[in-house]
Structure 1
Amino acid sequence: MPGGTSAVELVCSQRDNIPIALAVMMSMGVLLAFSFVFISPSNEAFPVLVIDAVLIGGSTAFFLVTYYYCTKRAMDD
């Protein structure tokens, strides 16, 4: 964008904070795994557990891809 900052530059400027977000997502994943042990598919809370798993998995994938892209972009510069 002329005269401004692109969204990619804004996200990549926070590259040092992405490992912290990844650590939080992974710890949430570990806690979610403990929940799968105690909740059966017949339980009413099971759909919430599945939705949470999708959100945590998607967020972790987003942060991993973003970190990889920003690191590669910084090395190319």
Structure 2
Amino acid sequence: MSNRSVLLDLVCAQRRQMKFLLALLIASGLFVGLSVLFIEPGDASFPILVVDIVLVVGCFVFFSTAYWYCTKRAMDE
């Protein structure tokens, strides 16, 4: 077994928890979206907002892709 296959097996074993994590990321995205309404580019907290947006969007893309792949992989087996 290759290292990639072992890593994918470990990630796909956590597929049930990914649903919960995706729900938390969606809620975090809504809160970040609400923050966008009140923070302007000149504010001191603007860099934190940008980092939050990058983290939430990046994590959402990664985990939604992983969930899709693991679901597809489980259906093929």
Taking structure 2 as the reference length, what is the TM-score of the superposition? 0.92
Match of 2:42 in 1: 42
In structure 1, list runs of 5 or more residues that go unmatched.
Answer: none
Shift of 1:17: 1.1
Provide the C-alpha distance between the structure 1 equivalents of 2:51 and 2:17, rounded to a whole number of angstroms. Answer: 26
1:52 is matched with 52
Distance in 1 between residues matched to 2:13 and 2:45, nearest whole Å:
39
Match of 1:69 in 2: 69
Richer in helix (by share)? 2
Summarize deviations over 1:25-66 as a string: whole Å, max 9, x none. Answer: 000000001111111111011011011100000000001000
TM-score by structure 1 length? Answer: 0.92
Segments of structure 2 that go 5 or more residues without pairing to the other structure are: none
**CA apart distance, 1:9:** 0.4
Q: Percent identity?
A: 43
Partner Cα distance (1:13, 1:28) in 2 = 24
After TM superposition, give the deviation of residue 16 of structure 1 in Å: 1.0
Deviating runs (4+, > 4 A) in structure 1? none
Cα distance in 2, alignment partners of residues 47 and 70 from structure 1: 34
